[in-house]
């Protein structure tokens, strides 16, 4: 998930990767939308309710459209992608893709029988069968498990190449790896370029439709591979982790277990304090340096003051090395806000290129930059230098695209989801290093109606999937779910942090960041990450062993 995004000039520029969970900005400008808070300042609004930016993670990989025809009737339609099946872990840098791309004829609407319901669209999914133990002797009982990634709000190839954990453990289990793209994202757009055109088309973009997509594709795939008895374990991170856990609850007959990393399933309604995300970001920086925290906290008022005139905006554009003169001071605010928020999310203990190329422990490195300035240095120079670690650590950017987005309509699928069912309230408290802001359901509803002509169903997620008293509820009817979280990740505060039962386990690491456990193993991994992954593998092995034991008892 990404961090939440701005609704107006002084609102938090976030939107949850999970990302939540939810997304990122175009050409390194402002961030998208997840749970934007309503500000209390009187600075002028941006012309539109949603910033005209494209999530960064949707641009992280160039989308490659494969040409293939589609057959009706729900049959699988395969088309090899550029590259070939690889034998190593995916780390996002390999020259050859460790998967092949395929397309499934998916029905548009699984829950009605209207004339449009049976319309089909091409849903993309990726396969890696390098280590799969195939069925033998005409009997599918010996088939290895299917490890299925439940796709997030973006291009599935981007998620697959950043989910090395699944590739790392596939040999041990003899597993077939499957990565399914979420409807309305990447290449899986039911109405092509018109998919985001209006509520008439976007009305088919819901989490329940997405879960049904996964179930139908998995069952069809197993049948076509003569592996109907093979166990299925679903994996997901951020919003995808939420989907994985919900999939286990809704489709226990399709999957034997779920591994949900950094999944803030409790970030809804009044379950988790609304200020928790930004309190978490602020605590990450404060734990490294009180001076660092104070400098960032003091940046916003100075920025607003200097950006109140045309000359001030020109001076700020030069200071922040903008490719073009910025028109609004809040554009720079969003640019800074995004850098600090996402750096906290990906405060990994080893160098990584998940969102940007960053060094190990990037929050610590940002604070070193700020603390290294001499007394009396310009506070905005400090903030710019720190944010440059996020946007330009490699030093290859000659200027910063602070306002120019590539999406002419400012629309993407998550913005719709954040205006319909994925209502994750966010505020900024006085203790945060960001400017205080508030949230009300009524204001969110009005903004969504203005933008889309629809009003949110703010309590639908907890009605459909639960959340309140989750420990009492799932203890009685849920099983086989791992919720993993790292407490350096600000989304962790909306996650499951304590064991619910002997089979619904919370694996929490004090120094972990956003879905760190799902990244490829490296030589520099600290012992606590290695141990977390080992526990996950052991638990998954137990699920599979129990499944096979149950199958033997049933057959006998």
Three-class DSSP category at 546: helix
- The Cα–Cα gap between 195 and 199 comes to 9
Beta bridge partners of 261: 237, 484
The CB-side HSE value for 16 (13 A sphere, CA atoms) comes to 36
Placement of tokens 């990447």 in the chain: 186
Helix ranges, 393-469 (H):
413-417, 441-452, 460-464
CA dihedral for 175, 182, 278, 429, sign (positive or negative): negative
CA dihedral for 430, 431, 433, 437, sign (positive or negative): negative
Secondary element (H or E) of residue 149: strand 146-150
- The Cα–Cα gap between 276 and 126 comes to 35
* Torsions phi, psi for 491 (to 5 deg): -75, -15
Beta bridge partners of 39: 437
Token output for 280: 């978490």
Secondary element (H or E) of residue 268: none
Which residue, 373, 22, 32, is CA-closest to 182? 22
Three-class DSSP category at 163: coil
> 179: buried, middle or exposed (CB in 10 Å: 19+, 13-18, 0-12)?
buried
Kindly report the CA angle at 100 between 214 and 165, in degrees rounded to 5?
A: 70
Length of the chain: 556
Number of CB atoms found within 10 A of residue 309's CB? 11
The CB-side HSE value for 492 (13 A sphere, CA atoms) comes to 28
DSSP summary character for residue 233: E
Catalytic residue ranges: 238, 489, 514
Contact 29, 402 (CB under 8 A): yes
Token output for 123: 């849903």
């Amino acid at each position: 998930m990404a961090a939440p995004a701005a609704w107006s000039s002084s609102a938090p520029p976030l939107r949850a990767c999970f990302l939540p969970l939810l997304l990122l900005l175009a050409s390194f400008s402002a961030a998208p939308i997840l749970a934007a808070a309503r500000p209390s300042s009187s600075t002028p609004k941006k012309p539109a309710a949603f910033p005209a930016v494209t999530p960064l993670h949707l641009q992280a990989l160039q989308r490659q459209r494969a040409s293939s025809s589609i057959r009706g009737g729900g049959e699988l339609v395969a088309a090899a992608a550029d590259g070939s099946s690889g034998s190593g872990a995916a780390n996002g840098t390999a020259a050859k893709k460790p998967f092949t791309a395929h397309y499934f004829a998916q029905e548009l609407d699984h829950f009605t029988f209207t004339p449009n319901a049976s319309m089909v669209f091409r849903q993309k999914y990726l396969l890696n069968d390098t280590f799969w133990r195939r069925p033998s002797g005409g009997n599918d009982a010996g088939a290895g498990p299917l490890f299925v990634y439940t796709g997030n709000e973006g291009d599935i190839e981007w998620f697959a190449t950043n989910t090395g954990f699944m590739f790392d453990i596939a040999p041990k289990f003899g597993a077939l790896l499957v990565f399914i793209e979420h409807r309305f994202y990447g290449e899986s757009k039911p109405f092509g370029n018109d998919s985001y055109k209006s509520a008439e088309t976007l009305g088919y973009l819901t989490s329940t439709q997405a879960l049904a997509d996964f179930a139908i594709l998995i069952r069809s795939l197993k049948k076509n591979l003569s592996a109907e008895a093979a166990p299925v374990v679903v994996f997901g991170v951020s919003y995808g982790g939420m989907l994985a856990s919900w999939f286990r609850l809704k489709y226990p007959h399709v999957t034997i277990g779920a591994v949900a990393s950094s999944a803030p399933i409790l970030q809804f309604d009044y379950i988790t304090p609304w200020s928790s995300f930004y309190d978490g970001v602020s605590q990450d920086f404060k734990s490294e340096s009180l001076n660092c925290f104070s400098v960032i906290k003091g940046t916003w008022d100075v920025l607003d003051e200097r950006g109140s005139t045309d000359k001030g905006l020109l001076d700020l554009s030069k200071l922040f090395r903008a490719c073009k003169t910025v028109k609004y001071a809040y554009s720079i605010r969003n640019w800074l806000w995004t850098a600090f928020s996402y750096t906290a999310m990906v405060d990994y203990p080893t160098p990584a290129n998940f969102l940007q190329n960053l060094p190990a422990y990037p929050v610590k490195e940002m604070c070193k930059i700020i603390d290294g300035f001499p007394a009396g240095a310009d506070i905005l120079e400090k903030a710019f230098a720190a944010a440059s670690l996020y946007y330009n650590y490699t030093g290859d950017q000659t200027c910063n695209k602070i306002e120019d987005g590539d999406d002419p309509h400012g629309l993407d699928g998550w913005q719709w989801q954040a205006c319909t069912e994925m209502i994750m309230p966010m505020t900024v408290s006085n203790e945060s290093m960001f400017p205080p802001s508030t949230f009300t359901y009524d204001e969110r509803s009005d903004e969504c109606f203005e933008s889309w002509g629809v009003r949110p169903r703010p309590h639908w997620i907890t009605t459909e999937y639960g959340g309140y008293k989750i420990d009492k509820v799932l203890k009685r009817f849920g099983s086989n779910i791992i919720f993993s979280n790292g407490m350096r990740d600000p989304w962790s505060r909306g996650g499951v942090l304590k064991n619910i039962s002997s089979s619904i386990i919370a694996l929490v690491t004090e120094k972990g960041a956003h879905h760190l456990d799902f990244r490829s193993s490296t030589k520099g991994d600290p012992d606590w990450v290695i141990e977390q992954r080992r526990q996950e593998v052991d638990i998954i092995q137990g699920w599979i062993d129990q499944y096979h034991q149950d199958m033997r008892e049933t057959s006998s």
